[in-house]
Amino acid sequence: MAAVDIFNVNVLDNPALFMHPLSFEITYEVREPLIEDIEWKVVYVGSAEDESYDQELESVLLPADTMGRFGFVLQVDAPRVEKLPVDDILGVTVILLSCSYKEKEFIRVGYYVNNEYTDPELIENPPATPQIDKLYRNIGADQPRVTKFAHKFDFSSDETPVVEATLTENGATDFGLAQGNARAAPFGLTANDPREQLLAARI
């Protein structure tokens, strides 16, 4: 059993304009007091094909030295547009929320994100240079991909196995054996879509 587990994540202010800050209401449970802080991180995948375009939007340290259930809102700025490939700004990508201990990730919540216009004219005739002020971001909050990674923490005698999980309404995470990315991807992506295959490997 993991020393720290995510109980729930709510994606706030969603959908929103692309440049609107992202907000995650996180509830987590400390089951085993830890000596050092845990690190929460939000990463925006700028390109499905090139990890060098990943942007770390925020990283915060929180204590985990007391058993119990805790909650906080993690608000981060939108990704820096000038650092994104122009061809990858519109369409589907991924946002990753992860938690690490001693610089080793032990749980990750991934969301597909769709960036699109709502103006019919822009949908019909998208400009070569995206109009960021007209662009909307929609996070697939109802379809998180949760993965738990092996970690010994401080006192555990063995490492927790790597499993894929789903967030549940009544507590923590409902873990089962990892089965790749069997669940359907949102926003019209299909299993045969090369972009979906690349994004699925990241999420």
Residue 128 tokens read as 């070569």
Q: Is the pLDDT of residue 12 over 60?
A: yes
In tens, the pLDDT along 148-172 reads: 998 989 875 555 555 565 555 444 4
Q: Which letter does DSSP use for residue 18 in this model?
A: T
In tens, the pLDDT along 57-103 reads: 999 999 999 999 999 999 999 999 999 999 999 999 999 999 999 99
Q: Is the pLDDT of residue 176 over 70?
A: no
Pairing of strands 55-62, 173-176: unpaired
Q: 175: pLDDT confidence band, cut at 50, 70 and 90?
A: very low
Helix (H/G/I), strand (E/B), else coil: 184 = coil
Residue 106's nearest CA partner among 66, 58, 138, 154 is: 154
CB 113 within 8 A of CB 140: yes
Q: Which of 32-36, 87-91, 186-190 has the lowest mean pLDDT?
A: 186-190
Domains, the chain, with CATH or none:
4-202 (2.60.40.1490)
How far is Cα 44 from Cα 48, in angstroms, rounded to an integer? 11
Residue 104's contacts (CB-CB under 8 Å, 6 or more residues apart) are 149, 151
H or E segment and range at residue 194: helix 194-202
In tens, the pLDDT along 101-141 reads: 999 999 999 999 999 999 999 999 999 999 999 999 999 99
